[in-house]
Amino acid sequence: GAGVSQSPSNKVTEKGKDVELRCDPISGHTALYWYRQSLGQGLEFLIYFQGNSAPDKSGLPSDRFSAERTGGSVSTLTIQRTQQEDSAVYLCASSLRGGAYTEAFFGQGTRLTVV
C-alpha cells in the first residue's frame, strides 16, 4: 500500500485478555516505531526496529508488552493480560532509513479499549 497500515482500527477487549496489534509499514522502509498515545497526551515511545539490528525496547512499560518484526516488514505489538491503564491509541510509524533523519510516516493508529 501507499501508506502505513494498522489493524484493527479499534479494539475492545476484556481485562486480562491478550491482544495483538498489527502494523504494515511502507515498503522499503527499514525503520519502524511503536508509540502509545493516551487520551489528550503526547506520544510515548515504546519500541524501535531498525533493519536487522536488535530492537530498542527501552520504552516498553512492562513485560506484558512485546513486539516483533518479521522479515523486516510487518510488525506485531502484543499486550498480554491487558489492564485498563493499557487503554490508549497505539501508533505505528516507519521511515526510509536508519535513525530518525528522514520523515516518519504514521498509520492512523489502533484505539484499544480495555473494559
Q: Which of 21, 77, 93, 112 binds another protein (CB under 8 A)?
A: 93
CA 43, 46, 49, 55 dihedral sign is positive
Should residue 104 be labelled a site residue for another protein when binding is judged by CB under 8 A?
yes
Give the three-state DSSP class for 15.
Answer: coil
Amino acid in the structure at residue 70:
T
Among 19, 88, 91, 114, binds another protein (CB under 8 A): 91
Q: Contact between 39 and another protein (CB under 8 A)?
A: no
Cα separation of 46 and 60, whole Å? 5
In the complex with another protein, the residue whose CB is nearer, 59 or 72, is 59
Tell me: does residue 109 bind another protein (CB under 8 A): yes
How many Å from the N-terminal Cα to the C-terminal Cα in the chain?
33
**Taking CB under 8 A as the rule, does residue 96 contact another protein?**
no
Sites of contact with another protein (CB under 8 A): 33, 35, 41-43, 45, 48, 56, 59, 89, 91, 93, 95, 98-101, 103-104, 106, 108-109
